Amino acid sequence: MTDPKPLLVDVKEGVATLTLNRPERLNALSPEMIVDAIAAVERLARDPDVGCIVVTGAGRGFCAGGDVTAMNASTDTATLTFERRLDRQMASHRLSGLLYSIPKVTIAAVNGAAAGAGLGIALACDLRIASDKAKITTAFAKVGFSGDFGIAWPMTRLLGEAKAKELLFLSEVLTAEQALTLGLVNRIAPHAELMTSVHELALRIAKGPQVAYRYMKENVRLSSTQDYQTLLDREAYTQLHCAETEDHREGARAFVEKRAPKFVGR
């Protein structure tokens, strides 16, 4: 009997859904899962038929983060130099980097526990929709880790330094409502309706103006590191570029004709 695939990929109606598939371990990350997820995101980012990417977990968890049990039992890294282990860790972090930076809109459907690196992956996505049964925690302090998969960067920008430090230091478990109040998630859906709600949102995005979304995402990302004037200049460029797209012309016609636009993604 073969082991189940650590990552499931489904593409339907322009929406790609990546399902972390180790439900017996609350989808704790494995090397194979990370490699497969990076390859899938790279491939889907280039696919013109995909307009939105959803990340979720199989079973009752989103992602419990690193597999601490496997780490404790493993002897694979005992003979590796620190530099080699660092290379491995940095390669794994490419998953968060891709979800954050690719031109496609990414959504985390947080169906259960999102802890540690799992929370880092959710925060790397553009939007987060949580089940009303979801539990969220940084978790790292409980096992003597400082945090990875980029968790500190979005948390600091979403919450400010003081609150980000509090969540990292104390590793308290947040309910979906608490996460929504803080701004860690965008919306909450009833658990049984989560994936339906996420798919409806993802489908709306997949059918939207993809060029405009690409530049919206880039402009928001740049706003975290660039000054105001740089962003004004950047927005002048992206606005005029979007003015040359079929989607802009269709949107303008639809506005005048008082109908819903039918975007084509170019």
pLDDT (tens digit per residue) in 171-195:
999 999 999 999 999 999 999 999 9
Non-local (6+) Cβ contacts of 91 within 8 A are: none
Q: What is the per-residue pLDDT for 67?
A: 80
What is the model's pLDDT at position 73? Answer: 54
d(CA 111, CA 190): 10
Query: Residue 77 — very low, low, confident or very high, per pLDDT cuts 50/70/90?
Result: low
How far, in Å, are 53, 63, 220 from residue 4 at the CA level? Answer: 22, 17, 38
**Quick check: helix, strand or coil at residue 204?**
helix
CA 55, CA 20: separation in Å to the nearest integer? 8
Whole-number Å distance between alpha carbons of 19 and 71: 22
Asked if the model's pLDDT at residue 165 lies above 80, the reply is yes
- Look up residue 185 and give its amino acid: V
pLDDT tier at 70, thresholds 50, 70, 90? low
Is residue 163 pLDDT above 80, yes or no?
yes
Instruction: Indicate if the pLDDT at residue 232 is higher than 90.
Output: yes
Average pLDDT, the chain: 94
pLDDT of res. 71: 58
- Going from the C-alpha of 86 to that of each of 63, 150, 239, the distances in angstroms are 22, 15, 40
Could you say which DSSP state residue 52 is in?
Answer: E
Joined tokens for residue 24: 């017996």
Rounded CA-CA distance 19/55 in Å is 6
What digits encode the pLDDT tens for the residues 81-110?
A: 999 999 999 999 999 999 999 999 999 999
Residue 139 pLDDT: 96
Strands (E), 66-126: 105-110, 113-115
pLDDT tens-digit series, residues 100-144? 999 999 999 999 999 999 999 999 999 999 999 999 999 999 999
Whether the predicted pLDDT of 162 surpasses 60: yes
pLDDT digits over 193-215, tens only?
Answer: 999 999 999 999 999 999 999 99
Q: How confident is the model at residue 74 (pLDDT cuts 50, 70, 90)?
A: low
Whether residue 68 has pLDDT greater than 80: no
pLDDT > 90 in the chain, percent: 92
**For the chain, what is the total number of helices (H) and then of strands (E)?**
12, 10
pLDDT in tens, 23-54: 999 999 999 999 999 999 999 999 999 999 99
Q: Pick from 6, 2, 10, 91: which is nearest to 44 by CA?
A: 10
Burial of 178 (0-12, 13-18, 19+ CB in 10 A): middle
